Structure formats: C-alpha cells, structure tokens
Amino acid sequence: MRVAQSKDVRQYLLLFARHYAGDDALADEAIDKEEFSLEPIQKGTFDYGGRDEIARVVPVRLTAKLYGRAGTVITVPADDIRDAYADDLGGLTLDTGVMSRAWLRFYFNRIGRRTRPVTVEIAPPSSIRHLRERWYYVPVLNYLQSQGVKLTSRLQ
C-alpha cells in the first residue's frame, strides 16, 4: 500500500479490515506481520550461489544503523558489498549494525535467451521493490524464501 504519510497506513488498513472483514484486529495483524528479514544476509547464512534459473545473487547496496551512541546510518553502494566490507570499510562487518535495507542483483540461467540482471530492494518488515510481475517474479521470491529472507509463503 502506498500512502502520502506512513502514519496513514494503519488507518487505511483499519478501515479496510473493519469494512470488508468486520474485524479491526486484522489491521494490527497485517501491520505487525514480518514478511521479509535481512537476518540471513547479516549473519552470513545467505547463499549467493544461486540455483535453478538463478545463476547467482550479488549484494550491491546496503543500509545499516551502526551500533553506538551516535545512531549513525550508512548506505554502502558497491559492485559487491561483501568485497566492500572485506577490503574497504576499515574493520566494519555485516553485523556491525542493524541492516534496514538491502539491494540484491539477481543473474539468471536461461538457456537460449539473453537476460539482464534484476536488482530488487528489500526493506523489512514487508517491502520489496523493483520486482515486477514478469517471468523472474516467482523464481526470485522462491529463492528469497529458500534463503530465509522471505518469511511467508504468500506471494506478493
């Protein structure tokens, strides 16, 4: 749902739940339900190697709030974030703070067809952007679910 101000989301969901289902509690459940998590990326358990139609996945941008008193938020764009953290960020690691957004670039195996990589933005608890209803929609969501990034089985 897109609204002018994020505080309006709850009101719209409340009105929708009340009108169509007669149950205000559904709005709270929808707001509180986490659909995506960056924990596998942060903990290093995400497999970037791909499978089936997905040849490989490359993390190309991350936003994280660093631990500490200042509340510093950094966004790191790179050809591959893993290399940036290993070589360029002077001791910072993926678990130095709390990730709030990740941009993952998916490369595909499609025999006989030329395909371009697709970059999607994941912003927990429930947002994924730049993933359009095209041939790659289901393979990308299935891969994210198999890696623990997509937590629910319901497709967008």
- Prediction pTM value: 0.74
Q: Which helix (H) or strand (E) holds 77?
A: strand 73-77
The residue among 156, 124, 125 whose CA lies nearest residue 140 is: 156
Looking at residue 108, its pLDDT comes to 92
Q: Cα separation of 126 and 29, whole Å?
A: 12
Q: Cα separation of 42 and 24, whole Å?
A: 35
Q: Cα separation of 135 and 51, whole Å?
A: 16
Per-residue pLDDT of the chain (156 residues; tens, 9 = 90+): 454 555 565 676 677 667 677 776 766 665 555 578 888 988 889 999 999 889 999 999 999 888 888 888 989 899 998 888 888 888 888 888 888 899 999 999 877 777 889 999 988 876 777 777 688 888 888 899 899 888 665 444
The Cα-based distances of 156 to 36, 45, 46, 87, 129 in angstroms read 11, 24, 21, 36, 11
Q: Cα separation of 104 and 101, whole Å?
A: 10
